[in-house]
């Protein structure tokens, strides 16, 4: 049961703390995609909600972490994933090294937004995971 109280003057909000683990089960197809490689395959996604943080809205300061004990959710699904090109082509295109990770992350969001134009789905049916690593400099 959820109980709601008026919170017009409250200077706090909550934010979930989650862990996601993706295991590749099979790669069904791979194809060149620019200087990188696109892959399509089956994966298992294990999603675990481990806690939530209470934060001051005005300062974003965490003042409490509440641990949760929920069973993880598991989903076997299809995944499109990419092996980005090495960083040299990105540098040759004029992208500063400090911006490579951000550019790859932005590309992930662009692809998520474009998928509903090609597949029968809503934009919110599609999720993305970015591991935050830049391509190696080779």
Contact between 54 and 68 under an 8 Å Cβ cutoff? The reply is no
User: What's the CA gap between 7 and 16, in Å, rounded?
Assistant: 19
47 has a pLDDT exceeding 50? yes
User: What is the rounded CA–CA span in Å between residue 110 and residue 115?
Assistant: 9
Q: Supply the DSSP symbol for 84.
A: P
For the stretch 48-95, pLDDT in tens is 999 999 999 999 999 999 999 999 999 999 888 877 666 677 777 787
- Spatial CB neighbours of 60, under 8 Å, sequence gap ≥ 6: none
Mean pLDDT of the chain: 85
């Amino acid at each position: 049961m959820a109980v709601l109280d008026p919170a017009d003057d409250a200077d706090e909000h909550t934010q979930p703390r989650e862990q996601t683990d993706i295991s590749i089960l099979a790669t069904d197809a791979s194809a060149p995609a620019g200087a990188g490689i696109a892959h399509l395959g089956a994966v298992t996604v294990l999603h675990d909600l481990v806690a939530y943080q209470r934060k001051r809205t005005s300062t974003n300061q965490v003042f409490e972490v509440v641990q949760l004990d929920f069973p993880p959710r598991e989903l076997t699904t299809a995944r499109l994933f990419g092996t980005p090109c090495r960083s040299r082509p990105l540098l040759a295109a004029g992208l500063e090294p400090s911006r490579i990770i951000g550019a790859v992350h932005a590309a992930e969001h662009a692809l998520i937004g474009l998928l509903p134009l090609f597949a029968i789905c809503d934009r919110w049916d599609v999720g993305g995971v970015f591991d935050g690593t830049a391509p190696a400099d080779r």
